[in-house]
Structure 1
Amino acid sequence: MSRRRPAPRAAAPAPRLLPSSPCPCGLPAAYGECCGRLHRGQAAATTAELLMRSRFSAFAAQDEAYLLRTWHPDTRPDAVEFDPALRWTGLEVLSTTEGGPFHSAGTVAFRAHYTEGREQGVLSEHSRFVRYEGAWVYLDALSLS
């Protein structure tokens, strides 16, 4: 996900995800055993889709360090700015191409649901992932119509 928003006016605490919380990525596992392991550096994403799911969860948790660590250095911003009024609420993976354990590139099309204040919204994106120094990283994205 590459959502870049205007700088927040006031900092708000990041949403708290407990190890026992449902994982924001939508897989049927607790956060601590799903994306939390990747965020803590205890595991690495084995596919482009798993990296995309873990990045969605990192946006939900406002984990800037993980997002920057999993962003290709050619396209990585200096910082990730989080809007304190925005909450990521759900993820739908629409399709994937390649991006498996034996590929060097892959794509994931998805819809990321959010609320901003009382308004609900959807970000649709087709993200490109590549292997960099052996690990999957986010390269860039095209918006879906």
Structure 2
Amino acid sequence: MPVRPVVAAALGAAALLCAAVGPACADPSEVITVDPVGRIAPDGTVTLSGSYRCTGGTGPVFVSSSLSQGDSRLRQGVGGGVAQCDGAEHRWQNSGKVSAQAPRSGAARVEATLTELRPSGILLLPAFHAVTDQDVTLAQE
């Protein structure tokens, strides 16, 4: 199995766990935001962006994002990237084609997450730095 889907599945499962546990997962000084407008390219690629701030990463930290339109139970991953946890504010941008349902212009819900994979023995366990769930508008480019 390719590594990318495995990492995406692990981060998604960890995000669900953090959502169930609540704010105790993240330091309140760490934050991730989502810009109010996302873009849809003519080829169907979705681009989401925002900013983040985190500190104290001991393992690799990733910025992930997912999108839902209509049925809020169906979330589709939109790219991901590496984050820099140095206490400064940084911009993030994720792009990707969603597979299950073609995105359309209009209202959408985006979840963005800063997740660190911390070494614990022979395993890497997810630790959340920040999570947000926000309404956005998708616009055609």
Q: TM-score, normalised by structure 2?
A: 0.32
Q: Which has the higher contact order (CA 8 A, sep 6+)?
A: 2
Q: TM-score, normalised by structure 1?
A: 0.31
